[in-house]
Amino acid sequence: METTEHLKITIMTRSEKPRLRLN
């Protein structure tokens, strides 16, 4: 279960909506 990673990604994405440096 990757709950922490998922949360971190969600927070980062929400923090930088126009900036998606996860791809």
Tell me how far apart the alpha carbons of residues 3 and 9 are, in angstroms, rounded to a whole number: 10
12-23 pLDDT, tens digit per residue, is 777 666 665 655
Q: What is the pLDDT of residue 8?
A: 87
Strands (E), the chain: none
> pLDDT at position 3, please?
86
CA dihedral 16, 23, 4, 6 (to 10 degrees): 90
